[in-house]
Chains A and B, each alone.
Chain A
């Protein structure tokens, strides 16, 4: 079966760095997405990786290892507004998105 695993909840301190991991098992692979979802709001696109390596976009970076079926989202200089759920989704060979249940990130002052 197809599956995405990510931690249910993480806590970090304002100003610090946090890494949210995601492992995937899919039938084929056509890229991995990260989305941010604040409570009561729509998910919003953060990043897309299809090749191995690190993609940096401001305070957020995303990493992919296709051989390991592994990705992480790195958030630097954490701000209170980064408190949200972070959703990992992998695209399979049929271009369907397989979603994780999301990681709730709690930022403490």
Chain B
């Protein structure tokens, strides 16, 4: 238990569906992250929020839309996804952004796009 929870743990959706992934951290951290993890590939950073402000958007397609209503919650809204978007989506948080702050990860949402 890392103090970062994600729901749902598994999600199967069609290409025309709209769904949302939720992340909550109970660590009092100020930075939150969304990553995509595909088999045998490096973690891909998608979005970073620091004190609720988006600081990074690594050329992520617009079919992925993040939302950070407060420093404890992070959402990833999904719509009209493609089969290649099937992956494990990990949320992480850290005390701050940058420097030596390690990141604490949630268990991930396994997403399958059919």
- Identify the A interface with B (CB < 8 A): 4, 8, 30-31, 33, 41-45, 48, 50, 87, 89, 91, 95-102
Contact = CB atoms under 8 A, between A and B. Distances in A.
Given A48-B100, A50-B100, A42 B106 contact: yes
B98 interface: yes
Which 5 A-B pairs have CB atoms at the shortest separation, nearest pair first? Answer: A95-B98, A42-B105, A99-B42, A45-B102, A99-B43
A100 B102 CA distance: 16
B99 A95 contact: yes
B90 interface: yes
B2 A42 contact: yes
Interface residues of B, number: 21
A41 B37 CA distance: 12
Contact of A97 (B40, B45, B107): B45
A9 B25 CA distance: 32
B41 A101 contact: yes
Which of A30, A45, A98 has most chain B Cβ within 10 Å? Answer: A45
B103 interface: yes
B4 interface: yes
Nearest to A3: B42
A44 B41 contact: no
A50 B4 CA distance: 26
Nearest to B91: A42
A96 B50 CA distance: 13
